[in-house]
Chain A
Amino acid sequence: MSKVISKTCAVIDYGMGNLHSAHGALQKVAPDSNILVTSDPAQILAADHVVLPGVGAIRDCMSEIQRQEIDQVVAEVAKTKPLLGICVGLQAMMTRSEENGGIDCMNMFSGQVQYFGDNLLGDALKDGTSERLKVPHMGWNKVEQIAHPLWQDIKDQSRFYFVHSYFVEASDQSQVKGLGHYGKPFAAAMGQDNVFAVQFHPEKSHTNGLQLLQNFLSWDGQA
């Protein structure tokens, strides 16, 4: 089991949704660490580890990120320390999202965020038809891992809790660190240097999710 090295972890609060769960889950795996929910750039830049969460629509997320100059803080963090993006936090790190008519994002990973579609079909069923897949993609789905320290002690093909209607289509396959499948393959995890980001919610993914958070707080940012 990996050992937590983070003395202080900042969860960036830019007004998008409830951060109680992310805070609680991080505190659970690192009872001796100081887990802060903050929008203060000084606190974020002083932390050992930083988490960028996000829920809701990308337009609202990006406009708050830009208005509060969180993008500049995140860019600074990305140069020096371990950074974890969660759900819309991952999507905000991509080049661009087609949600809300098209929104430019932070371009930390190259690729687009696309809608799953209204008539998504799953694999063929026994009777030769196929199951119609609902959107949002909501529930526990498997992730095919691609070697990275954040998967330590988590079995390949473990399930995590997802809830999203838009998915990441990566342009640079070397940045894909986990693959999900829902009617089509999508990037469930992205990683580059000291930045890692996931489409699912580790803070809601029971034992596997808590392990991933513990791995993050134990990570020195070296891939």
Chain B
Amino acid sequence: MALAKRIIPCLDVDQGRVVKGVNFVGIRDAGDPVEVAKRYDEQGADEITFLDITATHEARGTTVKMVEAIAEHVFIPLTVGGGIREVEDIRRMLNAGADKVSINSAAVFNPDFVREASEKFGAQCIVVAIDAKRVSGSGELGDTDNKWEIFTHGGRKPTGIDAVEWAIKMADYGAGEILLTSMDRDGVKTGFDLGVTRAISDAVNIPVIASGGVGNLEHLAEGVTLGHADAVLAASIFHFGEYTVQEAKQHMADAGIEMRLD
């Protein structure tokens, strides 16, 4: 099995600037997405994901410029998520140099948007982001009472939609990949919700990226070995220089996981 599992650093951007602190030694401007992206690229990141948290639609022009600037310097795949609501939003990001876009709440409000986007641009560039929260069971791996639901608005609004069924539906609608975030674990640093990661990864035939909860390198490895994820996404453990992407990849390789180390 030669296909490598992927490590994807994730950055929040607001009006074309990196927010939520990035702290690298020797970086001049930690808010400059080009500098940050270059740094992760040098460390061996397999892809980079940007989450656009720009509040207004008008201000998103700056995000487009940011993607253009990054695409000129960084030659690994780039994903942009946040605020992708219409076909035109996708077209703008892809034309700017993004390789994939991540669709979140727009998919919940209008699932046909995913179908339309996939038919128009190809499944390879359509990532569906799923924010899941556990609503029953212990959360332990193997507990058959475990159930997770889709939440919107940053985890505040329940939708009543079962997360596993939703993932299957999104794959069926033409998603090329799923970015799965556990809202219970996001920011908690106790590791991925391995139960929901495995349940969804085993239920669909498309790659699944695990997100939410990484506090150390072993968490990344568990996402793959126990959660069956195809890729792992993390933000803060890389931003504050706790670990480099390279260290993370080496740790995963030492755990017997196929990684890109050259």
What is A's interface to B at a CB cutoff of 8 Å?
Answer: 17-18, 20-21, 24-25, 28, 55-57, 118, 122-123, 131-142, 155, 158-159, 161, 163-165, 181-182, 201, 203-206, 208-210
Contacts and interface: CB of A to CB of B under 8 A. Distances in A.
The majority secondary structure among interface residues of chain B is loop
19 contacts: A17-B121, A18-B94, A28-B75, A123-B1, A131-B1, A134-B230, A136-B206, A137-B3, A138-B230, A139-B46, A140-B46, A141-B3, A155-B262, A158-B262, A163-B176, A181-B2, A204-B99, A206-B41, A209-B75
A204 B262 CA distance: 15
Contacts of B5: 139
Nearest to B98: A18
B176 A136 contact: yes
Given A55-B125, A139-B4, A21 B75 contact: yes
A57 B124 CA distance: 10
A131 B6 CA distance: 16
B230 A165 contact: no
Nearest to A213: B75
Contacts of A155: 262
Nearest to A61: B122
The majority secondary structure among interface residues of chain A is mixed
A55 B124 contact: yes
Interface string B1-21: 111111000000000000000
A16 to B, nearest CB: 9
Contacts of A56: 121-122, 124
A210 B260 CA distance: 16
Given A118-B205, A139-B46, A205 B75 contact: yes
Contact of A135 (B72, B75, B99, B206): B206
Contacts of B124: 55-56, 136, 138, 163-165
Nearest to A143: B2
Nearest to A158: B262
